[in-house]
Structure 1
Amino acid sequence: MSLIKSILVVFVALEFFYIMYLETFATSSPKTAQVFGMSQEKLAEKEIRTLFQNQGIYNGLIGLGLLYGLIFNPSIIIPILIFIILVAAYGAYSSNPKILLTQGGLAIITLLLYLFNR
């Protein structure tokens, strides 16, 4: 089971690296516009672009934190997964209910495995 949990943590980290890519490097791309339900024109505005790029760095650091946990300190994995789920829940409440599953779904599954398969 440990291998499966590790693979899922890597997938969650990759998800957050992808979000970072969309927000930081492909800010006004058609894919970013589709994922976030915004127009490319809106995403190209300096203020919006700056906010997205800053947010992207946070998402990248979440991914790095998960990988760091896998390699050096497994005790931080559960708190980071809980953080991801709480942020996804807030996003679902404040913005779009599907965020709970799109951003938090894999983290929820991974957390459940960590909690119930020790």
Structure 2
Amino acid sequence: MSILSTIFAVLVALECFYIMYLETIITDSDKTSQVFGMKREELQMNSLNTLFKNQGIYNGLLGLGIFYGLVFNPSLVPAILVYIILVAIYGAVSSNPRILLMQGGPAIIALILNLLVK
């Protein structure tokens, strides 16, 4: 992997950890409310809070998977990036089109750089 593709992969991993932080650690905060466009009251509901925390763990593990791939097996990184892009496409179609740009954008750039710049 080139330095540039590695930098973008790291940025995607950090974004995954940030989403995990929002969903798992500060689940019902003002910042989480702002990022996800939800009322704090909704985020404080036990059922939604549990779902957010579960989803946050998935995001954190994606970030961990990217770091693992960068260190031990770079061939894993494109597969994880494709997964993130597909989830962003689903989120854009089912929820908010901005998701494709916000979550998918860095992963798309990282994947293109990974595939083109060796």
TM-score, normalised to structure 1, is: 0.98
User: Take 2:117 and 2:3, find their aligned partners in 1: how far apart are those partners?
Assistant: 12
One-letter code of the match for 2:104?
Answer: G
- Distance in 2 (alpha carbons) for counterparts of 1:5 and 1:108: 11
Three-state SS of the structure 2 residue aligned to 1:78 is helix
Alignment correspondent of 2:13:
13
In the alignment, which residue of structure 2 is the partner of 1:61? 61
1:49 shift after superposition? 0.3
**Matching of residue 81 in structure 1 with residue 73 in structure 2:** no
Which consecutive unaligned segments of at least 5 residues does structure 1 have? none
Cα distance in 1, alignment partners of residues 117 and 2 from structure 2:
9
- Tell me the distance in 2 between the aligned counterparts of 1:33 and 1:22: 9
Identity %: 63
Q: Which runs of 5+ in 2 are unaligned?
A: none
2:93 counterpart of 1:93: yes
Q: Distance in 2 between matches of 1:8 and 1:105?
A: 10
Which aligned runs of 4 or more in structure 1 are off by greater than 6 angstroms? none
Letter in structure 1 aligned against 2:27: T
Q: Number of matched residues?
A: 118
Larger RCO (alpha carbons 8 Å, 6+ apart): 2
Q: Which amino acid aligns with 1:39?
A: K
